[in-house]
Amino acid sequence: MRRRWVKVLTIVVVVLAVLGVTADRVAVHYANQEAATLARQKYGYGADTTDGYLNVSINGFPFLTQVLSGRLDDVTLSAGNLVLNSRANAQGDYLDVQKLDLDLHGVTVTSLAARSAQVDLVTGDLTLTYQALSGVITRLMSNGGGLTVGPAPGSDGQQARFRVTGTWGGRQVDTVGSLLAQGAEIDISVPGVGSSGGSSSGSNTSTETTGPGTYVWGVQLPVNAGFSAATATPTGVDLSVIGHQVVLGSYPSAG
């Protein structure tokens, strides 16, 4: 009789555990979808192109215990095929972003009504391909010919360097441009190429020219998050993102 009761209790415990895990996984799946929707609404991630994507994953187990405490240990956000679009005076000033990855450490929900939270630490990176840089530089700065961007040595801190070759104004061009990532802005400059073209602002980015061959884009990042480094790689430029005491759900850091 005793063995039977032990067996019954064991079965009950296993069933409850399975139900608990199932409920936890269902809840985290729903929360991931809601978080992705919020990020898309607040920052426009994955909303600009037909092939854009946005995934949010709340890590750690059990999820429901984290919810009850009001604090999530780790949340990852991955978005790709983004377009930093603006209502620009300069035609073709859109900049394609291959991907944006953010890792949120220590997320505390500050207001359920306002759907806002504070994050202890945010790290991540944004990737621009040379193909995308070639496209936007050609559209904005070319003068009767195509310009091709490739890697160049000399990246330092928040400034990455790249090589620009092609035809401009009827002459061959072989020069070195720079990409400065500072705050929530991307500043692209190619000395001796292009011309200034006014300024503009838009929903997901603002674009302005600061001189011949120089353009600036403002990227939608959470408040208190910004770029900390820019590095030229064999395939593109990687921009590192970092932020402390970052605010989610409030106004983004660049508009």
State the average pLDDT over residues 110-139: 86
Beta bridge partners of 100: 79, 126
Exposed/middle/buried for 154, CB within 10 Å: 0-12, 13-18, 19+?
exposed
Q: CB–CB of 236/129 below 8 Å?
A: yes
Higher pLDDT, 72 or 65: 72
Task: Tell me the DSSP string of 40-94.
Answer: HHHH-TT-SSTT-EEEEEEESS-HHHHHHHTEEEEEEEEEEEEEE--B-SSTT--
User: Is residue 137 within a helix (H) or strand (E), and if so which, with residue range?
Assistant: helix 130-141
Lowest-pLDDT choice from 93-107, 125-139, 201-215, 217-231: 201-215
Mean pLDDT taken over the chain: 76
Point out which residues pair with 217 in neighbouring strands: 186, 207
Q: Above 80 in pLDDT, residue 24?
A: no
Q: What is the pTM of this model?
A: 0.79
Compute the distance between CA of residue 42 and CA of residue 39 in angstroms, rounded to an integer. 5
pLDDT (tens digit, 9 = 90+) per residue, 134-171? 999 988 887 767 899 999 999 999 999 999 999 887 78
Does residue 163 come out as left (phi exceeding 0), alpha (psi in the -120 to 50 range) or beta?
A: beta
Q: What pLDDT is recorded for position 27?
A: 52
User: Mind listing the pLDDT tens digit for each residue in 69-98?
Assistant: 677 888 889 998 888 854 455 677 788 999
